[in-house]
Amino acid sequence: MTSGSIRRDALAIGLASGAYAVSYGVLAVAAGLSVAQTCSMSLLVFTGASQFALVGVVGAGGGVLAALAPALLLAARNGIYGLALVPILRGRTLSRALQSQLIIDESTAMARARSERASAHRAFLATGLSVFVFWNLGSLAGALLGGGLGDPRALGLDAMFPAAFLALLAPQVERPAARIAAIFGALIAVALVPFAPVGVPILASVLGVVPAMRELRRTAAGTA
Amino acid sequence: MSWTAIVFLGAAAYSMKALGPVAIGRRPLRPALAQVLELIAVPLLAALVLVQTLDGGGRLVIDARVPALCVAALLVWRRAPFLVVVFAAAATAALLRALGAA
Tens of pLDDT, residues A126-158 = 999 999 999 999 999 999 987 666 778 888 989
Q: Which residues are CB-neighbours of A51 under 8 A, at least 6 positions away?
A: A24, A28, A41, A42, A45, A71
Q: How far is residue B56 CA from its own chain's centroid?
A: 16
In this predicted structure, the answer to whether residue B26 has a pLDDT above a threshold of 80 is no
In this predicted structure, the answer to whether residue A224 has a pLDDT above a threshold of 60 is no
Closest CA to A46 of A109, A112, A130, A136: A136
Task: List CB contacts (< 8 A) between A8 and chain B.
Answer: 83
For residues A202 and A77, is the Cβ–Cβ distance under 8 A?
yes
Q: What is the mean pLDDT of residues B58-76?
A: 96
**Which secondary-structure segment (H or E) carries B71?**
helix B65-77
In this predicted structure, the answer to whether residue A191 has a pLDDT above a threshold of 90 is yes
Whether the predicted model's global pTM rises above the 0.90 cut? yes
Q: How many residues does chain A have?
A: 224
In this predicted structure, the answer to whether residue B102 has a pLDDT above a threshold of 70 is no
B17/A103 Cβ within 8 A: yes
Angstrom distance (rounded) from CA A159 to CA B58: 18
- Residue B100 DSSP SS3: coil
Q: What is the mean pLDDT of residues A205-218?
A: 94
User: Touching check for B23 and chain A: CB below 8 Å?
Assistant: no
Angstrom distance (rounded) from CA B43 to CA A109: 11
Angstrom distance (rounded) from CA B96 to CA B75: 18
Q: Which residues are CB-neighbours of B55 under 8 A, at least 6 positions away?
A: A193, A201, B61
The CA-CA-CA angle for residues A118, A121, A123, to 5°, reads 110
Lowest mean pLDDT among A109-118, A145-154, A204-213: A145-154
What is residue A91's DSSP assignment? S
pLDDT band at residue A69 under the 50/70/90 scheme: very high
Q: How far is residue B4 CA from its own chain's centroid?
A: 29
- CA of B19 vs chain A CAs: smallest distance (Å): 7
Q: What is the mean pLDDT of residues A50-61?
A: 91
Q: What is the mean pLDDT of residues B45-64?
A: 94
DSSP letters, B11-63, are HHHHHHHHIIIIIITTPPPPHHHHHHHHHTHHHHHHHHHHHHHHBSSSSB--S
- Percent of chain A at pLDDT > 70 equals 96
Q: Which residue has the higher pLDDT, A199 or A3?
A: A199
* Nearest residue in B to A112, CA atom: B41
Angstrom distance (rounded) from CA A202 to CA A165: 13
DSSP letters, A113-157, are T-SSHHHHHHHHHHHHHHHHHHHHHHHHHHHHH-STT--GGGGTH
**pLDDT tens digits for A162-181?**
999 999 999 999 999 999 99
| Per-residue confidence (pLDDT) for residue A148, from 0 to 100 | 64
Residue A173 is nearest to which of B42, B52, B83, comparing CB atoms?
A: B42
* Nearest residue in B to A172, CA atom: B42
The CA-CA-CA angle for residues A21, A25, A30, to 5°, reads 145
As a whole number, the mean pLDDT across chain A is 93
pLDDT band at residue A221 under the 50/70/90 scheme: confident
| Per-residue confidence (pLDDT) for residue B9, from 0 to 100 | 96
What is residue A197's DSSP assignment? P
- Best B3, B39, B60, B77 residue to mutate vs chain A (most A CBs within 10 Å): B39
Closest CA to A36 of A140, A164, A161: A140
Closest CA to A188 of A205, A173, A203: A205
Angstrom distance (rounded) from CA A190 to CA A195: 10
As a whole number, the mean pLDDT across chain B is 93
| Per-residue confidence (pLDDT) for residue A147, from 0 to 100 | 64
**Which secondary-structure segment (H or E) carries A2?**
none
A165/B45 Cβ within 8 A: yes
